[in-house]
Amino acid sequence: MVFSHHSHSGQYVSHAVNTLDEVVSRAKEMNFRTFCLTEHCPRYSRDLLYPEESEISLEGLSATFDRYVTHAKKIQRQVNSDKTNRLKILVGFESEGGIDSSHLEKYQELRAKYHMDIVLGSVHYIDRIPIDFDRENWLRAKSHYKSFHDFFLAYFNCQYEVISKLKPEVVSHFDLIRLFQDEDNDTCEITGKPLKDINLAKDWPQVWYSIGRNIELINQQGALIELNSAAIRKGWNSPYPKRDIVQYALSKGARFCLSDDSHGIKQVGLNYHKVLSYIVSLGSQIEYIYFWDLDDSGASFVNKETVADLSKDSFWKINYPNLPGV
């Protein structure tokens, strides 16, 4: 069984493509077992809008979100009542962190208002500056801090606030803060080492502590951490999070799920074969992949699949027929 807990469409997100129905049809065609619809939640201040949203009013963002939920729940009823396919749709949204506490309060209201199956806890801003848009903005956010150490610490503190206040079912792209770092040329002001040589546990113990604190809270709340394949299409050789954090999280009993963070049909399930290889490379450290599921009453719960069974799923034969072992 193959799953994605994180997806977007161009119908409701300006930087994505394709309609919501097209995205769901692609997930069905690829033989997904669970596919979560999680468009971005609104932002409530114009300084937080991306360039492609410049012509959209704040009221328009909220109205678009309302249309999305209505549409997504209609799709969910249609797909989940069809017993001829195995696909199950969950409906939720991706939150924003690193803005202010009032936004998190708004997101709590949205969760309750729309009775969401799933909420993704994400941090896309630090000090109201987007950190996943481009390196220029990432550096602009970093300029607020004396060191890369303090910048990373601020990110994980924002993440802790999202987890503690919003209690998301899934924590998204756990170490997104690393996306735009230049590992060779960005140098740690504390140790003098290039970032690629930084051992978080040894060189930045305060950051490492904050990561462990966040993982412990995730575990306490029963949430999952996603292995997010979007990092691979953005140039990494692994999904988010990187191996050091995955191994640390597993040592603390964390549970991982799969996400493609797709922004259109071409990205649905993209690079999942590389994520599978990443999972298999962890060996006995990881026995299960977890996923959010719905019971017969429509209530969400955490289900699981062994890595061995995941590797044998028909998804791979359909979509990656040349994958070794398929």
> What is the mean pLDDT of the segment spanning 157-162?
98
**Residue 65 scores a pLDDT above 80:** yes
Q: What is the model's pTM?
A: 0.97
Q: Is the pLDDT of residue 273 over 80?
A: yes
pLDDT of residue 85: 85
Q: Is the pLDDT of residue 258 over 90?
A: yes
203: helix, strand or coil: helix
Nearest by Cα to 183 from 130, 235, 251, 137: 235
Q: Does the structure show a pLDDT above 80 at 46?
A: yes
Taking residues 66-95, report their average pLDDT: 96
pLDDT at 97 (0 to 100): 87
Q: Are 147 and 188 in contact (CB under 8 A)?
A: yes
Sign of CA dihedral 183, 186, 188, 193: positive
Cα–Cα distance, 170 to 55 (Å, whole number): 31
Higher pLDDT, 139 or 52: 139
The full set of domains in the chain, from first to last, is: 3-319 (3.20.20.140)
CA–centroid distance for 25 within its chain: 21
Average pLDDT over residues 244-266: 98
Given a cut of 70, whether residue 326 has pLDDT beyond it is no
What percentage of the chain carries pLDDT values higher than 90? 92
Burial of 168 (0-12, 13-18, 19+ CB in 10 A): buried
> pLDDT tens digits for 89-101?
999 999 988 899 9
| Least confident among 12-26, 49-63, 203-217, 225-239 | 49-63
Q: Residues 293-320: what's their mean pLDDT?
A: 94
Q: Does the pLDDT value for residue 1 go beyond 80?
A: no
Top-confidence residue, 52 or 219: 219
- Residue 325 has what pLDDT? 66
Count of Cβ atoms closer than 10 Å to residue 213 Cβ: 15
Q: In the predicted model, what is the mean pLDDT of the chain?
A: 96
